């Protein structure tokens, strides 16, 4: 069992849960300037990256729309200067950044399952606070931290805590009111060039299907 656990953790590191703990802390003024609040109901969106070859989960993250919209991406490798970070919590997560994030993860080897659930404003802000309290995640702890942040918020207790992206995705799907889409792309398997180039590509080739 220990060997299986180690191999699973190694898979997460290679795919998307390979960063952290980064302990990045953007200054107050930078975070304040970046704050973004879309004109839509409060919600949480669970992103799960799934291997096109094996069906195994490689990474998970949460987009939380409360008093502002943030991305909680524990141990994630995505970043952008216009979305300042505080220990795995990215602020200024605009529609542009959301598209960039999906384009970064959806590629020839992985697709992204997108599960959205509307919340009360109190729930959404409680989830942001729960994510903030956890600090930076160690390598391979992405889903452990996401599930822990969720289960502390009223309405998500049934999710429990898990290490496995697909397990969290399946449990999340059982919650009432969840809307699911799947994002595919034909970008190359090596996606770090997007960040290394320092530009945000236009994800015109991304397409989604409703489940």
Distance between CA atoms of 143 and 60, rounded to whole angstroms?
A: 6
163-181 exposure pattern, b = at least 16 Cβ within 10 A, e = fewer: bbbbbbbebbeebeebebe
pLDDT of 191 > 50? The answer is yes
DSSP 72-130: E-TT-----TTS-EETTEE----HHHHHHHHHHH-SSSEEEEEEEEE--HHHHHHHHHH
Closest listed residue to residue 149, CA positions, set 72, 207, 75, 78: 72
Can you give the residue ranges of every domain in the chain?
2-210
The whole-model pTM stands at 0.88
Pairing type for strands 57-65 and 69-72 reads antiparallel
**113-147 pLDDT, tens digit each:** 999 999 999 999 999 999 999 989 999 999 999 99
**16-59 pLDDT, tens digit each:** 676 556 578 999 999 999 999 999 999 999 999 999 999 999 99
């Amino acid at each position: 069992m220990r060997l299986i656990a180690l191999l699973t953790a190694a898979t997460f590191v290679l795919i998307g849960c390979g960063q952290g703990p980064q302990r990045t802390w953007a200054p107050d003024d930078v975070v304040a300037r970046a704050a973004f609040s879309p004109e839509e109901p409060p919600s949480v969106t669970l992103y799960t990256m799934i291997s096109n070859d094996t069906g195994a989960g490689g990474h998970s993250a949460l987009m939380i729309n409360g008093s502002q919209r943030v991305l909680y991406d524990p141990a994630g490798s995505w970043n952008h200067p216009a979305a300042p970070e505080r220990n795995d919590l990215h602020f200024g997560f605009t529609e542009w950044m959301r598209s960039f994030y999906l384009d970064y993860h959806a590629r020839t080897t992985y697709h992204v399952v997108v599960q959205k659930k509307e919340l009360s404003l109190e729930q959404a802000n409680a989830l942001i606070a729960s994510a903030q309290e956890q600090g930076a995640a160690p390598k391979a702890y992405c889903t452990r931290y996401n599930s822990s942040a969720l289960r502390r918020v009223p309405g998500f207790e049934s999710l429990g805590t898990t290490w496995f992206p697909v397990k969290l995705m399946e449990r999340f799907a059982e919650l009432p009111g969840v809307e699911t889409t799947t994002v595919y792309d034909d970008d190359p398997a090596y996606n770090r060039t997007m960040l290394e180039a320092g530009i945000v590509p236009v994800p015109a080739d991304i397409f989604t299907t409703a489940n």
